[in-house]
Amino acid sequence: MAVEETPKVTIIVAAYNSQDTIKECLNSIITLDYPSTHLEVIVMDGGSADSTVKIAALFPIKVVSIRLNAPAAYNYAMKIASHPILGFIDADAKVEKDWLKKLVPHLNESNVAGVSGTIETWNNDNLWARSIGYELKTRYSRIGRYTGRIATMNLLLKKEVIENVGGWDEQLPSQYDTDLGFRISAKGYKIAYEPTAVCYHFNRPNLKAFYHQQLQYGKNTLKLYFKHGRLARGDEITDFGMNIQPILLLTSLTLFLLGVVPLLRILWVVSGLILLSMILYFVYSAVKIAIKFNDSTALRLIALYVVRSIAWFVGAVITTIMYLFGRNK
């Protein structure tokens, strides 16, 4: 599907209790260097209890407040969107002035269903957020000119392609973007990556917030792999080394419990060696990133890696229990 040089774009922002970031997010969108006649903005609020809706209502945009998770909100917004190109920007993200102008030319490339920009850290003064940002930049640096999937943090997609692959999976409150990307790739499409188009993301500012975010990823990652087993092998953004960590934790825990039996006490050693190997891997990865960015702050990634692996493990356990008791939906 060819796209006109200056296509009309509907940008969709899914928000929930986002009062601290929604103003700057929307201001960055409405001040984009792009014809206002070709730009529509829809905020899909998931029933915020704070001032998100009041703040959003101050802007010349559409605001829809309805209790839906993000993929359901995107499906709803697609139905009321006026334009054939859909932009997705998280409520805790903001984009540079030329973001859209840098992305749209890629939509005319062969078999391209969408295009994304790169990610920088919005709250770079927070050391935890900065460390998270370093890891995200490292993972994104592995992306070539095209990719099979990418986060909806900052993304343009052709509405027609989303509809052709069946829309967003509303049973995945997170990881829905990976699922959609997989289905888009299966149809022979690809997503372009434009590293000069910058999006600034407000990363989690402490370990507690990071744990709760990753716990949701852990719950839905298992659902995702039930649906698309091939994704468990990993890709350039989430590699196999990340995916195998919950399995290693499960193995270590199982061996430890079996080692309670005196005749199997040697299993405690094996359990400990698995945990030690994971820690060494975390240290190696964190040191490598700290050297890459010349910032010792990145050593906090050791703690972040530990928290993430635990959160993914706990999330996978919760999802498994829900499946066993028939409450997976």
**pLDDT at residue 185, rounded to an integer:** 92
Percent of the chain's residues with pLDDT above 70: 98
Q: Write down the pTM of the prediction.
A: 0.90
Same domain, 93 and 14: yes
**pLDDT at residue 1, rounded to an integer:** 45
Q: Which residues, in sequence order, are bridge partners of residue 191?
A: 114, 147
**pLDDT at residue 249, rounded to an integer:** 93
Same domain, 35 and 131: yes
**pLDDT at residue 236, rounded to an integer:** 75
* Structural domain boundaries, residue 242: 226-324
Same domain, 248 and 108: no
Q: What is the mean pLDDT of the chain?
A: 93
The reply to whether 214 falls in a domain is no
Same domain, 179 and 260: no
**pLDDT at residue 4, rounded to an integer:** 64
Answer with the residue of higher pLDDT: 112 or 223: 112
Q: Are 57 and 25 in contact (CB under 8 A)?
A: no
Please give the Cα distance from 198 to 208 (Å, whole number).
27
**pLDDT at residue 24, rounded to an integer:** 98
Same domain, 233 and 283: yes
Cβ neighbours, 10 Å, residue 197: 22
Same domain, 79 and 117: yes
What is the count of structural domains for the chain?
A: 2
If you average pLDDT over residues 149-175, what whole number do you get?
Answer: 92
**pLDDT at residue 20, rounded to an integer:** 96
If you average pLDDT over residues 64-77, what whole number do you get?
Answer: 96
**pLDDT at residue 327, rounded to an integer:** 65
**pLDDT at residue 3, rounded to an integer:** 61
Residue 263: pLDDT over 80: yes
Same domain, 121 and 254: no
Q: What is the CATH number of the domain that holds 13?
A: 3.90.550.10
Q: How confident is the model at residue 241 (pLDDT cuts 50, 70, 90)?
A: confident
HSE at residue 49, side-chain half, CA atoms within 13 A, is: 0
If you average pLDDT over residues 82-108, what whole number do you get?
Answer: 97
Q: Are 60 and 30 in contact (CB under 8 A)?
A: yes
The reply to whether 191 falls in a domain is yes
β-pairing verdict for 154-158 and 112-121: antiparallel
